[in-house]
Structure 1
């Protein structure tokens, strides 16, 4: 099993290959789960020069950077360029592509004043459009991608997803888990003024999908140790 390509994990693993068409996977929604929406993807989206990162690579996540880059390279619907800076991956084209899965929500009384243009720009959050995940396999693909990067699984088959400052993502996960009929074990939302802002949801997938999560768990790399002082 090639551990470098998430695309391989999603589309070529024996578990998925053995599933019927009804249970097929969705690469784009799988990647949406991996990319996340840290800080609600807050940005002045109308500004012509400010670009929100496609995703952040946090301290200890270095083993995932190449995996994410290789996986993004398998997207065939759009031509794009990728730029990697310390702690972030940028792509104007892919950001536009994935932002179609979100709707903008204006942040009241919060903006950016461009002194060069002498113009105010509003800030927006991006909220995941859950209506774009109508099919069960789309919901499962999103949860699988989320689990790949943000989840753990224990001996009792309990999966815990942990997010920092990603309200839209955790709300979507909770709704998808319930709609799929998975057992919810625990949900934790931090106090608004919590420093870490870490949300957690623990659930047990159905027997139908448990092998998928177990397989993904066996293919992903271990997270590294922090080697530089950011995030």
Structure 2
């Protein structure tokens, strides 16, 4: 796994301009005030996640996977290494988000609120885990260009189901956002945080099982 990590770090070094551009765009949005901060956190998370999962496309290019599997690399080890890489990129997105939050505090865009900053960083970590949980299996199943199409289709279906469900609820005069806000307001912050973490861990666990199954059955 150490060799795979070194390989992926070398691939990520080639994408350093992506990190620079993400920082520049994020600082630009920071100038718009506190309303842009949730977008910045999500944007950084997505960019770092895309950089991480793109290493799978590099591996699959020009029969690269066939070559990798001739080395002392197991299919299980390859899949698990991508999740270890996820932790590294997650740490990177948290570090960049922390710098931006501190910049927002120093420029008086937001007040210094440790609780607010912790929630923002937690949301960054959860989003990173969920994006990786979705994209890693998709990349392994569909490969390169097809994986992008599959990801777009899945996101489109998710949006259609989400907004279609809200529209249907409104038709029957059910205030779903209001019910959700009421439920969240009644829950203790610690309990809600624990629930979100457990849900994300469960989704990530399912993602790992799917990835291991795909690598076991897939022919290269």
Of structures 1 and 2, the larger Rg is shown by 2
Q: How does the TM-score come out when normalised to structure 1?
A: 0.23
Q: How does the TM-score come out when normalised to structure 2?
A: 0.24
Give 1 or 2: higher strand fraction: 1
